[in-house]
Amino acid sequence: MSKHPQKGIDRAILRKAFRDSFIKLDPRYLIKNPVMFVVEIGFVITLYLTFFPASFNEQGRQMGLYNGIVSVILLITVLFANFAEAVAEGRGKAQAESLKKTRKDTKAKLFDQNGQFTIVNSSTIKKDDIVLVETGDIIPNDGEVIEGLAFVDESAITGESAPVMKEAGGDFSSVTGGTKVTSDWLKIRITAIPGESFLERMISLVEGATRQKTPNEISLTMVLVSLTMIFLVVIVALYPMATYAGVKIPVATLIALLVCLIPTTIGGLLSAIGIAGMDRVTRFNVIAMSGKAVEACGDVDVMILDKTGTITYGNRLAAEFIPVGKHSLENLARFSLIASLQDDTPEGRSVVDLANQQGVKVDEAEYRSAEFIEFTGQTRMSGTNLPNGAQVRKGAGDAIKQLVTERGGTIPGDLNTVIERISKAGGTPLVVSVDQEVFGVIYLKDTIKPGLIDRFNRLRAIGIKTVMCTGDNPLTAATIAREAGVDEFVAECKPEQKIDVIKKEQAQGKLVAMTGDGTNDAPALAQADVGLAMNSGTVAAKEAANMVDLDSDPTKILEVVEIGKQLLITRGSLTTFSIANDVAKYFAIIPAMFTVVIPQMNAINIMGLATPQSAILSALIFNALIIPALIPIAMRGVKYQPMSAQRILARNMLIYGLGGVLVPFFGIKLIDLAINPLLKLLNMG
């Protein structure tokens, strides 16, 4: 999908992540993740008790060793969480490294007041400076072309190697710092402050340096912190309760229970999920200015789409052959094909495609050598002169009619009706004639991009309304809208009117997404809750938007919406899983804590775990192992299919809710079976 070299999780990333997971143990860093910070404190306490097991007058066999094992598992738990985050960051960092390489210190040609340029270091270029770039130069910073026309290689940013044309004025006037001029020259007014160029912002975004918690992430952290606080109180209160009931619980066991209960699974994976979500967006070659923007995508209710360029190709393509008079469809298709074989315009190629689709075949070699008549503004027709002298033409209705009449032919009675019908539907009629005979009409129409109908169906399945904006007349607009399957359309819509469409939807409480490229789209992009600007678009549009698509493909917004949803679903599902896990952990640890003093408590040891110590350690090990086990899901995101919210909820509840209750029962039992013999060897059984 991306034109960037696909960077999977390679060994280098893993090695770096492994090192980073130790660096991230720094409490000053870890405190940002309250759940894991609690685990780290637990680790410090149990580590102390490993060397001074008698600090709390605890009796028991091998207390020091037991405390030691608990502390090691706690350390590993924190490391696993750090590792998850580091792996998620790894890919972005790698990408940032490759971007940084393009930010080499270059020279720039800076104009002074007299119109002379001097060569300066490009890092000294300020906003509103005017510079000259020529073939082979690197554009020093983001700016706007004020003079000249040139081709620019933007592969450093977009990964697209074909150079793009830039010229002053219009929608192709913006240039990005770090890209390279491949031909001709440009005079550019710099629009970015040094250090805040698009490239630099992009580096810091993919690196994750400016990552801020998104609103839902903040709410979720709130829930996780409250749960942690509840369990802290539960554990603190348990100690005197147990003491009163005659049970002395070792401190390490209390800490083990606490760590098992607090939501370490989601706490450990939360930031990894967020980073990986952003990374998925980046790999689509979309730069999101913030995680908030990606998250907002999941909430979008309405999507405003341009017709031309987004829904249709904008070129008119052959859609139908309509014979007139007594001519057959096959003959019409055949002559249309013959007239178009050497026609390299999109229209011409589409006629060939349509004819081929309808199974019409001619010996192409025979006609390749035939004389081709180019389309001109005067004749308004094109065609082929066959070796046998026949002249095949296709062209505008009145031009062909005139030609045929001049040659003494007659105009079939139904021709005008057909032409009128096509025009009314917003299409373009192309009349086909051979010598003085009119064979029929090729219906050229604005063609919907393939796969869009399916995509709109997906959007409808998840409750997103699509609105098409077009400058066409209502009749044409209605036709395209119906064919593409968009829910609503606004005809005769000027770009400036889009903002009104957005405001109208927002007034009903809806979240609106839109794509745009031109300067006159900027206000609408800013007004929309999610604005996706095209990289080919103007600086104004890019600045107003909260996402920029480097491939300049407006339909990308659909993918970003799905990524946004998937991001939230992953967080929600893993939270549910994490909380549901606690049920089984209780059934492992509570009987283990009390059976020594209250043997009857073994009745709730429903997993039949071998010994109290083995039970506690098994629960704790399960709690640690589940984090790396879920890293793939955190990175990839929970499987997402477009369907009604109801069904998504039922499905995820079944997998992560019910599964979350059941899985640990099996997991803990298996770990218990595995470690019990080892504990026996250590004389702890």
Partner 1 sequence: MDWPQILATLGIAMLLVIPTGKYICRVINGSKTCFDPVLDRIDGFIYKVSGIKQAEMDWKQYVIALLLTNLVMTLLVYLVFRMQHLLFLNPNSIKAMEPSLAFNTAISFITNTNLQDYSGEWGLSYVSQMVAITFLMFTSAATGFAAAAAFIRGMVGKSKTLGNFFVDVTRLTTRIFMPLAIIVTLILVWQGVPQTLAPNQTVTTIEGKLQDIPLGPVASLVSIKHLGTNGGGFFGGNSAHPFENPTPLTNLLQILSMLLLPTSLVYAFGLMLNDKKQAWTIFAAMALLLAMALPACYFAEKMGNPLLAKSGLSQTMGNMEGKEVRFGIAESALFTTVTTACTTGSVNNMHDSLTPLGGLTALWQMMINVVFGGKGVGFMNMMMYAILTVFLCGLMVGRTPEFLGKKIEGREIKLIAIAILVHPFVILISSMIALLTPAGLAGISNPGFHGLSQVIYQFTSAAANNGSGFEGLADNTAFWNISAGLVMFSGRYISIIALLAVVSSLAVKKAVPVSIGTFRTDNPLFMGVLCAVVIIIGALTFFPAIALGPIAEHLTLWR
Residues designated catalytic: 306
- Distance set, CA 153 to CA 96, 176, 183, 216, 297 (Å): 19, 10, 9, 39, 31
| Residue 190 beta carbon to partner 1: minimum distance, rounded to whole angstroms | 39
Give the interface segment with partner 1, choosing from 26-34, 86-94, 456-464, 611-619 (CB under 8 A). Answer: 456-464
Backbone angles phi, psi at 609, to 5 degrees: -70, 145
Mode of pairing for the β-strands spanning 143-153 and 530-534: unpaired
- What residues numbered 187-216 form the site for partner 1, per CB under 8 A? 215-216
| Residue 564 engages partner 1 in binding (rule: CB under 8 A) | yes
Integer Cα distance of 461 and 445 in angstroms: 28
- What residues numbered 566-585 form the site for partner 1, per CB under 8 A? 566-569, 571-573, 575-576, 579-580, 582-583
Runs of H (alpha helix) within 316-390:
329-340, 346-357, 364-368
Q: Which two tokens stand for residue 343?
A: 């026609």
Considering the complex, state which of residue 76 and residue 616 has its C-beta at the smaller distance from partner 1.
616
How many residues lie near partner 1 (CB under 8 A)? 74
> Do residues 569 and 649 lie in contact, with contact meaning Cβ atoms separated by under 8 Å?
no
Mode of pairing for the β-strands spanning 302-306 and 428-434: unpaired
| Residue 108 beta carbon to partner 1: minimum distance, rounded to whole angstroms | 45
| Residue 659 beta carbon to partner 1: minimum distance, rounded to whole angstroms | 13
Give the interface segment with partner 1, choosing from 54-62, 367-375, 559-567, 619-627 (CB under 8 A). Answer: 559-567
Considering the complex, state which of residue 186 and residue 459 has its C-beta at the smaller distance from partner 1.
459
- What residues numbered 109-148 form the site for partner 1, per CB under 8 A? none
| Residue 530 engages partner 1 in binding (rule: CB under 8 A) | no
| Residue 8 beta carbon to partner 1: minimum distance, rounded to whole angstroms | 25
Q: Which two tokens stand for residue 106?
A: 């270059």
Considering the complex, state which of residue 543 and residue 582 has its C-beta at the smaller distance from partner 1.
582
Integer Cα distance of 142 and 144 in angstroms: 7
CA triplet 558, 563, 568: central angle to 5 degrees? 130
Integer Cα distance of 122 and 43 in angstroms: 51
| Residue 562 beta carbon to partner 1: minimum distance, rounded to whole angstroms | 9
Helix (H) or strand (E) segment spanning residue 489: strand 488-490
Considering the complex, state which of residue 151 and residue 586 has its C-beta at the smaller distance from partner 1.
586
> Do residues 319 and 326 lie in contact, with contact meaning Cβ atoms separated by under 8 Å?
no
Considering the complex, state which of residue 198 and residue 656 has its C-beta at the smaller distance from partner 1.
656
| Residue 44 beta carbon to partner 1: minimum distance, rounded to whole angstroms | 24
Residue 255's Cα: distance from chain center in Å? 40
Identify the residue among 532, 565, 613, 634 touching partner 1 (CB under 8 A).
565
Contact flags string 628-667 toward partner 1, x per CB under 8 A? ------------x---xxx-xxx-xx--xx----------
Considering the complex, state which of residue 187 and residue 213 has its C-beta at the smaller distance from partner 1.
213
Contacts of residue 377, Cβ cutoff 8 Å, sequence gap at least 6: none
| Residue 625 engages partner 1 in binding (rule: CB under 8 A) | no
| Residue 265 engages partner 1 in binding (rule: CB under 8 A) | no
Identify the residue among 136, 240, 389, 450 touching partner 1 (CB under 8 A).
240
Give the interface segment with partner 1, choosing from 139-147, 428-436, 506-514, 544-552 (CB under 8 A). Answer: 506-514
Contacts of residue 467, Cβ cutoff 8 Å, sequence gap at least 6: 302, 303, 304, 305, 486, 487, 488, 489, 490, 501, 505
| Residue 463 engages partner 1 in binding (rule: CB under 8 A) | yes
Give the interface segment with partner 1, choosing from 189-197, 198-206, 227-235, 518-526 (CB under 8 A). Answer: 227-235
Secondary structure letter of residue 496 according to DSSP = G
Residue 489's nearest CA partner among 506, 473, 477 is 477
Give the interface segment with partner 1, choosing from 34-42, 228-236, 532-540, 628-636 (CB under 8 A). Answer: 228-236
| Residue 252 engages partner 1 in binding (rule: CB under 8 A) | no
| Residue 237 engages partner 1 in binding (rule: CB under 8 A) | yes
Map tokens 């009128």 to a residue.
Answer: 420
Secondary structure letter of residue 534 according to DSSP = E
| Residue 213 beta carbon to partner 1: minimum distance, rounded to whole angstroms | 10
| Residue 302 beta carbon to partner 1: minimum distance, rounded to whole angstroms | 10
| Residue 461 beta carbon to partner 1: minimum distance, rounded to whole angstroms | 7
To the nearest 5 percent, what fractions of the chain are helix, strand and coil? 55, 15, 30
- What residues numbered 603-622 form the site for partner 1, per CB under 8 A? 603-604
Integer Cα distance of 368 and 416 in angstroms: 32
Identify the residue among 14, 72, 247, 662 touching partner 1 (CB under 8 A).
247
- What residues numbered 283-312 form the site for partner 1, per CB under 8 A? 295, 298-299, 301
| Residue 462 beta carbon to partner 1: minimum distance, rounded to whole angstroms | 5
DSSP 536-572: TS-HHHHHH-SEEETT--TTHHHHHHHHHHHHHHHHH
Residue 251's nearest CA partner among 55, 30, 481 is 55
Give the interface segment with partner 1, choosing from 44-52, 97-105, 425-433, 599-607 (CB under 8 A). Answer: 599-607
Considering the complex, state which of residue 331 and residue 575 has its C-beta at the smaller distance from partner 1.
575
| Residue 241 engages partner 1 in binding (rule: CB under 8 A) | yes
Give the interface segment with partner 1, choosing from 370-378, 398-406, 504-512, 542-550 (CB under 8 A). Answer: 504-512
Contacts of residue 566, Cβ cutoff 8 Å, sequence gap at least 6: 277, 280, 298, 637, 638, 640
